Structure 1
Amino acid sequence: MCGIFGTLNLAVSNRASEIFSGLYHRGPNAKGLSIEDNVELFHTRLSIQDLNVTGRQPMHHHGLTIVFNGEIYNHMELRKEYGLYAESNSDTKTLLMLFELMGMKMLDKLDGMFAFALYDQFRNELFLARDRAGKKPLYIYSEGNGTAFSSELNILNQIFRPEIDYSSLSGYLYLGYHYRKATPYKTVMELENGHYLKINTKTGKQFQIKWFDMSSCYQHNNRLSYEESIDELDRKLKLSVNRRIDSSDLEIGSFLSGGIDSGIITAMAALHKPSLKTFTVRIDGSYDESPLALQVAQKYDTQHTVVDISFSDLKNNIEQILINYGEPYCDSSAIPSYYVAKAAKKYVNVVLNGDGADELFAGYRRYVPFKYFDFFNSGKLSKISAKILSGVLPTAHEKKSSYNYIYRLLKFASYSDILKTYSAATSDIMVGYEDQFLIDPDLDDINDDLRRINQLNLSPLNKLLLMDFQTILFSGLLSKMDIATMAHSLEGRSPFLSKELLEFAPGLADHYKINGLNTKYILRDLSRKYLPGDLIGQPKRGFEIPLKNWVENQLKDIINDYLLSGDAFYPSIIRKNFVLDLIAKRINISEEKRAKILFDVFALEVWYKNISRSNLSGVHLEASLMQV
């Protein structure tokens, strides 16, 4: 795994030390810089494959230069298929040879996670690309005919100081995340998953191409019987796990919770690689899944470690955890993810995880009602009835209660526009408080995408799954795990997000995913072959996050320090009295939602204070350089 940065028509090589410093955690083993014509390419390396010098970057081949972040798990298979040979076993070298052979059509062949920049000197073209799911980040800054890109948003701010986009930040506060290409800056976008950018290096003209479209996978019914489907799932998942183990020249481990996603990954990995190292989190004050995880570890004789997290030092670490994201980020599960990655790094450099299983196979509880009812098009009478009922019923307070579940169903059935319905069913942060915004949230892109998906000839369940792939997975979960692991120079690999499974799972019949009230039905069925019976019926838990407790205890003082500050930033976007009333508990709202909103605003403040400090130090640095 690596960190990449580069520019076209924006010379910044005189600031190389700053850039390498900002990328260091992504690649502490080596660094490199290539300057060719008007293109500068920077790279820092975390050595996983081809550990010798032949794997170093930027890498050159017949007029092509590349900086690459990621792993291509099937690259040796592709070499064999197309008769390619090189002394180096580097997957980066394979990419260069494939590009020479077929250009960007090579992307369709790749099973892996990646973000790369490839400069073709002869054709005067620069290509920037991301993988199907968007596992590895890539941010792009534009200025006139100049372009810069980076694995890290923080570096782009540090070098170029782009103008803040208040409407985008308002959108973040509403949704709880920046949607797809949106960032906090007007001149910076995140390159979307399954896309690449082609730039003419002479004119600076850009062309964006979508090379992978998840919606087309959902429109393809694989028409397999249930028995054929479960056998095919077994084969494809084994292939994915084995590839992700075999493509590492270093020791590999696996995150192991008490659920079936990480459990089946661990089981398949342990069968392929004996003495696998496994890691389980035990969080003080939360449901303890470690006994269930231990059953899997003992069954497959793994080298098992239980990581106890008390969060006693959370107040001291929370700012740095959030600053790592380079933008406001309020998914509180980023906190335990950070701690478990830190612990795992002591033992391994690469870990497997179960990311993507819930979004592909319908693992969340909210998917069940969408299997049986189209909440996106529920009709005027249904919406009126639901609105009346949800208005009469008292506010729900307990996240896990059956009453709260029914209450939320009524709420998202009552909304007249699709964005409110979707937001209420997912993040559910600012729905119902739209009148508290001083700046209208920029929600055009997500509204357009939701309407487009709603027009597709898909079942309500598959519409929601596709929406979640676009939003919850891409804009939330994957960036969370990438930042949490790379903060400790740890590489995370996700077998459920392989090329084969992304193309296969969407075409499964709805009742293979949701059967009765059972989520992830086909995956649970397959897991009977590999896991102890106690795990099979366990509900989806993920990290049990005591956010209400944190907001009231460990983080109360620091949140109040930020939100009650006289120079707080958020009152430029949202009404200050609304936040003050939340702090003082003067609003009739569930404790869970109150904590989510306060943490949402707190994350915005931490981000803004950090970039303000960064920009101020940059001004002082430039002034001192001018005096010299």
Structure 2
Amino acid sequence: MCGFLMYTTNDIITAETLGAMERRLGLIEHRGPDDMALARIGPGTAAGFRRLAVIDRQGSRQPLRYADRWTLVFNGEIYNYEALRAELIREHGATFATDGDSEVVAAAFHHWGEGALERLRGMFAFALWDEVTDTLYAARDPFGIKPLYYLVTRDGVWLSSEKAPLLDCASDELDPTAMSLYLTMQYVPEPYTLHRDIARLPAGAMLVKELGRAPMIRRFARPAFRPDPAAEEAAVVADLRAALRDSVKAHMRADVPVGAFLSSGVDSTAIVALAAEHHPNLHAFTAAFESGHDELEIAERSAQELGVTLTPSVVRPAQVMEALPRIIWHLGDPVADPSIVPLYFLCRTAAEHVTVVLSGEGADELAGGYTIYREPRSLAAVSDRGPSIQRALRRVARAMPEGMRGKSYLERATTPMRQRYFGNARILSESDRARLLRGSPTVGHAHITAPLYAEVADLDPVTTMQHIDLNTWLTGDILTKADRMSMAHSLELRVPYLDRRVFEVLSRLPERLKVPRRGRTTKYALRQAVDGIVPSFVRDRPKLGFPTPAKAWLKTDLNEWAHHVLSTSGAKTLLDLDYAHDLLKEHEQGKADHARKIWIVLSFCLWHGIFVEGTVTPSRPVRPGSVART
């Protein structure tokens, strides 16, 4: 796992440019503390690299040259690289100077061209320079596990593993569309960032830049659900169990210590149980809070039954104030998910013991794990009625007082899915968003979700919701926080559920094997597949998410701090912070639970203080009296 910076221009790369690139590489040292290299690889192209050595630790230095033609900078892991290497040698007589996966990526592209991308099993973001054709290729894995930012200027194109190295090459102008989408979705969805000039390469996309031409972006992969109504439960469960075993085994490959995250849920417990089959002395890690608002007790029971060592990371409210500015800095753009806080400390603890961890991201999106996936069935009594009845019930809902029982149900049941559902991030109502944002919101969620809904018009409601989450929530929230919080501590995080073979099985699941009609079960096929692998008290537990006591914190330990952030933030030019104060006061008085709404605003205020005002520094806690105002 690593970080890179590449620049290509029609001009000549100067010593001054190389010096600036070296300084910018220092901003992502956390992604690769083991090695740093910077090279001019052509008159107008240079690449820099920060390495976290995991495989072939003594070799595979980057930027990596191949066949006197290609120069590669690569972030990620290719789990089938040994098989690809053997095939390249057998079929093409390819030669290799290293024992790692990076050179295999370059060789695959050399011999198979862009078709190589379809053969890579793993997580990746890379940039590859072809000195024969003066062409830059950059690509990102189909699930978007690894990040890739780009900036197009008058002089050329910049690529980076994180946003920070690009900031002094870009203007300070913010993107109102990204701002509006952030308030809607609690994260900035791809391809946007809050800085107008900087964008993210979408998951499964490739950027191609030929000398003298503008860059082109095209998608080479889009994971697609294709449910099979005739799928037999026994066969699917057996296939899934085998695919998970194979994936975990592949993800255990490393020349450094490997551990795993363990919560009280079935996803992470299954990963730990399967990993322990290959590594009996596995070290697992879990998050806990002083308040006890956590999953520690169940995780400890699971660890004992599975025979693994468990180390908890206990998060205290004072640490939250200390860490949040640095967390926001590492994110690059705010992600207003309170679970980022325990994840940050969980990664810090894990990095003290191992270099690689396995984690359970992706299981809910792929296997049908979110409780909200049961909503279409619960709304059917109303949503299946004819248009005239729908309109009448909608009028009834409008007439009902706010907070009255049944109002929300009628509103949701009489609103088409493509209008009401845009993932797990719906926190601010339209009225909240309009009230907070000074000036009218420029776009709503349909700006992102409408094309996604068009892709799955023929699928059942549950699979449709999965498709939306896979292409929005997973990349924008789940995988963003996983990558940034782990890399903040030079820790490589791997996600065995987001594996090509696992997805091939899960993509075929019919609705009845994800969210069955009887009971409250979700992820039915996955739970059946891990029967006998995970303890029964975990397999049958309902989904809890990643519990974080933000509600209690904002009433007590973080209350004064939150008021201070809202009072001193220069973001008041963009947001109505008086309204945010009102929400905070209602919350602390117990009139309503506004914790998630407040967290969205606080996260943005911290981001604004760091990246716009320059009054908040990642290394210093934001406490009352500690922020210098200008």
Where does 1:4-19 land on structure 2 (aligned, <5 Å)? 4-9=4-9, 11=13, 12-19=17-24
Is the counterpart of residue 167 in structure 1 residue 177 in structure 2?
A: yes
SS in 2 for 1:545: coil
Letter in 1 for 2:233: Y
How far apart are residue 321 of structure 1 and its match? Answer: 1.5
Is the counterpart of residue 359 in structure 1 residue 369 in structure 2?
A: no
Task: State the distance in 1 between where 2:524 and 2:407 align.
Answer: 25
Task: State the distance in 2 between where 1:275 and 1:526 align.
Answer: 24
Q: Structure 1: any 5+ residue segments left out of the alignment? A: 397-402, 618-628
Where does 1:143-162 land on structure 2 (aligned, <5 Å)? 143-144=153-154, 146-162=156-172
Aligned partners of 1:408 and 1:425 also within 8 Å: no
Match of 2:403 in 1: 395
Identity within the alignment, %: 26
Is the counterpart of residue 51 in structure 1 residue 34 in structure 2?
A: no
Aligned partners of 1:140 and 1:190 also within 8 Å: yes
Task: State the distance in 2 between where 1:258 and 1:87 align.
Answer: 44
Where does 1:92-171 land on structure 2 (aligned, <5 Å)? 92-144=102-154, 146-171=156-181
Where does 1:182-581 land on structure 2 (aligned, <5 Å)? 182-200=192-210, 202-214=211-223, 217-219=224-226, 221=228, 223-246=230-253, 248-371=254-377, 380=387, 381-382=389-390, 384-385=392-393, 388-389=396-397, 392=400, 395=403, 409-415=409-415, 418-419=418-419, 421-423=420-422, 426-436=425-435, 437-443=437-443, 446-447=446-447, 449-450=449-450, 452-454=452-454, 456-515=457-516, 516=518, 517-565=520-568, 568-572=570-574, 574-581=575-582
SS in 2 for 1:549: helix
Task: State the distance in 2 between where 1:287 and 1:616 align.
Answer: 30
Letter in 2 for 1:499: R
How far apart are residue 103 of structure 1 and its match? Answer: 1.0
Task: State the distance in 1 between where 2:491 and 2:334 align.
Answer: 22
Letter in 2 for 1:209: R
How far apart are residue 376 of structure 1 and its match? Answer: 8.8
Match of 2:625 in 1: none
How far apart are residue 14 of structure 1 and its match? Answer: 2.2
Q: Structure 2: any 5+ residue segments left out of the alignment? A: 618-630
Task: State the distance in 1 between where 2:447 and 2:324 align.
Answer: 32
SS in 1 for 2:472: helix
Aligned partners of 2:570 and 2:608 also within 8 Å: no
Aligned partners of 1:241 and 1:265 also within 8 Å: yes
Task: State the distance in 1 between where 2:121 and 2:175 align.
Answer: 35
Aligned partners of 2:333 and 2:607 also within 8 Å: yes
Aligned partners of 2:287 and 2:346 also within 8 Å: yes
Pair 277,448 (structure 1): closer, same or farther in 2 beyond 3 Å:
closer
Over residues 379-432 of structure 1, what are the superposed CA-to-partner deviations in whole Å (9 max), with x where a residue is unaligned?
Answer: 643365256347636538xxxxxx7xx76544433446834x114864322334
SS in 2 for 1:181: coil
Letter in 1 for 2:570: A
Aligned partners of 1:4 and 1:43 also within 8 Å: yes
Pair 199,253 (structure 1): closer, same or farther in 2 beyond 3 Å:
same
Is the counterpart of residue 89 in structure 1 residue 99 in structure 2?
A: yes
How far apart are residue 452 of structure 1 and its match? Answer: 4.5
How far apart are residue 532 of structure 1 and its match? Answer: 1.5
Aligned partners of 1:139 and 1:152 also within 8 Å: yes
How far apart are residue 262 of structure 1 and its match? Answer: 0.5
Out of 226-235 and 160-169, give the one that drifted further.
160-169
Task: State the distance in 2 between where 1:270 and 1:87 align.
Answer: 33
How far apart are residue 369 of structure 1 and its match? Answer: 2.1
Out of 225-234 and 382-391, give the one that drifted further.
382-391
Cα RMSD over matched residues?
Answer: 2.7
Letter in 2 for 1:20: L
Task: State the distance in 2 between where 1:589 and 1:433 align.
Answer: 19
Q: How many residues align?
A: 600
Letter in 2 for 1:491: E
Over residues 72-97 of structure 1, what are the superposed CA-to-partner deviations in whole Å (9 max), with x where a residue is unaligned?
Answer: 11100111233244241110000111
